[in-house]
């Protein structure tokens, strides 16, 4: 189980260290703090919008989860603003991680 394979199944998983309980972000093979073994689990929602923008009529947003995990995603929401709570409605991996967000 790892970050990419979980994304392809539509699950956004993060690796939490079994020893020091820190989440390793960006994803890595072992804990970036103590090199301990990672336990993969679902990210905790909701996240918070950090910034949003629109390119060619499509809306994109940077969202932060668990106070440290920042991911870029697309959204069909028209009125997203920084501070808005969002959940991940889909995720995939196609060369890079792909996420979509919706308001909570
Ligand atoms: Zn650790």
Residue 88, pLDDT score:
97
Residue 2, pLDDT score:
82
Residue 43, pLDDT score:
96
The whole-number average pLDDT for the span 34-53 is 96
Ligand 1 centre from 16 Cα, in Å?
8
Ligand 1 centre from 77 Cα, in Å?
37
Q: Which two tokens stand for residue 79?
A: 């009125």
Whether 63 has a pLDDT exceeding 80, the answer reads yes
Ligand 1 centre from 67 Cα, in Å?
18
Residue 56, pLDDT score:
87
| Domain range annotation of the chain | 3-42, 47-103
Confidence of residue 75 (pLDDT cuts 50, 70, 90): very high
Ligand 1 centre from 6 Cα, in Å?
21
Residue 55, pLDDT score:
85
Residue from 54, 22, 60 nearest 38 by CA = 22
């Amino acid at each position: 189980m790892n970050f990419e394979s979980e994304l392809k199944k539509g699950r956004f998983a993060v690796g939490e260290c079994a020893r020091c309980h820190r989440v390793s972000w960006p994803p890595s093979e072992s804990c970036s703090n103590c090199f301990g073994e990672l336990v993969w689990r679902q990210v905790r929602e909701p996240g918070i919008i950090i910034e949003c923008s629109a390119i060619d009529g499509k809306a994109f947003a940077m969202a932060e989860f668990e106070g440290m995990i920042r991911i870029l995603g697309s959204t069909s929401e028209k009125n997203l603003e920084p501070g808005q709570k969002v959940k991940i409605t889909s995720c995939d991996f196609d060369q890079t991680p792909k996420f979509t967000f919706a308001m909570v």
